[in-house]
Structure 1
Amino acid sequence: MSVNDVLKGMGYKFIAEIGEGSFSQVKLATSQKHHCNVAIKIVDRVKAPKDFVQKFLPRELVILRRVNHDHIVQMHELIEVAGKRLCIVMEAAAKDLLQKIHEVNRIPEDQSKNLFSQMVSAINYLHQMDIVHRDLKCENILLTAEEQVKITDFGFARCVQDPSELSHTFCGSAAYTPPEVIMGMPYDPKKYDIWSLGVILYVMVTGSMPYDDTNLRRLIRLQRKSLVYPDGAGVQEPCRVFIRTLLQFSPSTRPTIQQVAERPWLQMGKS
């Protein structure tokens, strides 16, 4: 029986394909069981690399089962098909953050602050559970029709048993990756997430990437320098200071996620 036949028999009806990788697909579907639209990630275990099947996929599933937060995508169920394909049924969203930025060019600072506060809340929750994401980027920040954040794609996430434990795996997208990881050094995975959040916020308020990642050696040199903002971006100084705090070259000077949540820029305007 094909994957489509199995899922149709379980009350899922495909609407569209919304994503595709080298060994997975993501489809939007209606669900009779869950009474809503869902996103179904179909992973081909035969095509997928062994380290993904044996290491990263099990980690992702363990974490998705554990987490329960308003701004983290919820997993509804897992469906095995003939031992070859795994269907991960999750709540659906309207778009991702990158699509939103492409639509509006850049997101006004007040709206960026609201969305970013939701991201910080989710990452604070994860870090308190000693879970790190390690692949935060605009494409992995989903938005609902009501523009509520849903963080997704925990393929590189892991649990950190010891706060002093360093990671060694190079993962994520270079444009969102901190310098210590690009240089191949053992790294604090929680500080990795902080750097990625800084890149995301810069992209939100400017509509462009802070660093050119086409050459990794040059990327590290750029990361050492002061941030440059596009002409006419109109980013206010408190926001610039906040972003600069997140994008500290040395991980030891980057704040923890709890300290990020308490920064003045995020608190301004709150009652």
Structure 2
Amino acid sequence: MIPRMFDVIKEPQTVLSAIDGYQHCPLLPLEIAIKPLIPFFEDGSLERNAWIVKEGCKNPSNNLTVDESASIRLYTFNWDRSENSLYYLLNETLRTEKREKLAPWYNYLKLLLTALYRLPPTKETIFRGVKLDISSQYVVGQQHFWWGLSSCTDSMDLLQSKQFCGQEGQRTIFFIKCNSGRSIKRHSFYSGEQEILLMPGFYFEVESNSDLGHGLHFIHLVEKVPPHVMLPLPEKAGIFIEAICHNKACTLFNRQIRISFGC
């Protein structure tokens, strides 16, 4: 099960300031990009799990580098409790109005978003849901932002299965007509998950809101272009070379590294 698919209830119902600043950071190897985040995790779990996901990332799809693909795998990786997971802490930070708290995440965010933007966009209707009635928050004709990375699926059957929203009780299911989602199935740590990610600052309009009875609410959303850029694109890495580190004294010994120039 993907616990983060239910976290739509944590989205603030206000317009926050732009997610700005990360795009100026250089592209770094995963081990280095996560260093500012180490204090947020206990007992070396972040370094350990970053090593685990990168060790299993030998021949990434979509022409991603090992570090780019591993950054997605680390995002999907479940800690012992969901609230200890990297995705939980990152999305919590993306949803706070205190944008200065994002600064330690910039290097990792640069690597992750660079990887996601290199994946082909999904232009289809995708689904997201929660086992609650939150339909009153989505008024037809209104526009909203979702500030976290939004986990969705292209399988309605999966969303209505017992492990997700089920077939009874209070449920709100979103039909999202989008053109910028990214399927991360080939880069998830859990290959069986059919997860599609929407970028932070996803902007949409509520097209319809239907009460179907028996606790079931269907809400149709349509992706829109925001009035202003709220998530700048990752800047290009400039000129770079990729090679294997042969320095035995280096923590990246025998690993693929990228050396950038002009970042």
Please confirm whether the aligned pair reaches a TM-score higher than 0.5, indicating the same fold: no
Alignment TM-score, normalising by the size of structure 2: 0.25
**TM-score, normalization by structure 1:** 0.24
Higher strand fraction (1 or 2): 2
Where is the helix percentage greater, Structure 1 or Structure 2? 1
